[in-house]
Amino acid sequence: MLLETAVAEDASAAFLRNVRLLLSTVVAPNGVHRKRLSASLHRACELTGRDYGHTFPHMIEVRRVDHIGIRVSDLERSVAFYKVLGFELLNKAANDAVAILKNPTDVELNLVYNANDDAGGKNILMDVDQKYTGYTHIALNVASIKAAIETLGANQIKITQGPVSFGLDGHVSIFARDPDLNVIELRGRSEDLSSIGGVTTYEPEN
């Protein structure tokens, strides 16, 4: 009833914009409030003769990142590298050059092992002057930055940058490269790193 009254009093585009604004800002578990507001907007469009689809297109509900695909040149070498990060090889696709890895917290990597050009030993998204579009890195949350630093060192994996902080959010990151120069950020809560040199402020390098 309130909706019908509001529309009768003001059937302007401003009314629809206000409802749409509410839809875009309300966040609730399971999208309950969003669904109710969506129904209200749909009803408002019916009453005003406006096109619901063009007024507020439906959005895809993304729940989480399902997996990350990384192209590599040497599967055995890459599996050994990502094993240091806690990933184990589960299986290989029967119809594609894809190996599926997972860690104990169910993070999944798909290693696409068909790379046939190393771009002159460079990561073309990070190591050349031209700035191409694409995914520049993956960021993995870790339980302890200090433990991650120690583990990388024990496995002769070079830290290319860090530990660094990005401000006052209480997080610290380190960066490394896999054998094909793909960039991995390991990110965790701030902790006492004075024994290994402390933390610096992040400065863009690429």
pLDDT tens digits for the chain (206 residues)?
Answer: 444 444 444 455 555 555 555 555 444 445 555 556 566 656 666 666 665 455 556 889 999 999 999 999 999 999 999 999 999 999 999 999 999 999 999 999 999 999 999 899 999 989 899 999 999 999 999 999 999 999 999 999 999 999 999 877 878 999 999 999 999 999 998 888 887 788 888 888 77
Return the pLDDT at 175.
97
Instruction: Return d(Cα 68, Cα 76) in angstroms, integer.
Output: 18
Return the pLDDT at 194.
81
Both structure tokens of 80: 């050994």
Nearest to 158 by CA among 175, 144, 145, 172: 175
Question: What values do phi and psi take at 172, rounded to 5?
Answer: -130, 145
- Which pairs with CB-CB distance under 8 Å and at least 24 residues apart come from 98-102? 98/69, 99/75, 100/67
Instruction: Return d(Cα 198, Cα 196) in angstroms, integer.
Output: 6
DSSP 112: E
Return the pLDDT at 178.
98
Nearest to 112 by CA among 158, 58, 75: 75
In terms of DSSP bridges, do strands 183-189 and 171-177 run parallel, antiparallel, or are they unpaired?
antiparallel
Both structure tokens of 160: 């290319």
In terms of DSSP bridges, do strands 108-112 and 68-71 run parallel, antiparallel, or are they unpaired?
parallel
User: What CATH number belongs to 64-116?
Assistant: 3.10.180.10
Query: Using an 8 Å Cβ cutoff, are 163 and 153 in contact?
Result: no
What are the tens digits of pLDDT across the range 195-204?
778 888 888 8
Burial of 164 (0-12, 13-18, 19+ CB in 10 A): middle
CATH 3.10.180.10 fits 132-206, yes or no: yes
The residues facing 89 across adjacent strands are 101
Domains 64-116 and 132-206 agree in fold: yes
The reply to whether the predicted model has a pTM over 0.75 is no
Return the pLDDT at 4.
47
Angle at which helices 32-48 and 2-9 pack, to 10 degrees? 40
What are the tens digits of pLDDT across the range 116-158?
998 999 999 898 999 999 999 999 999 999 999 999 999 999 9
Domain boundaries of the chain, sorted by first residue: 2-55, 64-116, 132-206
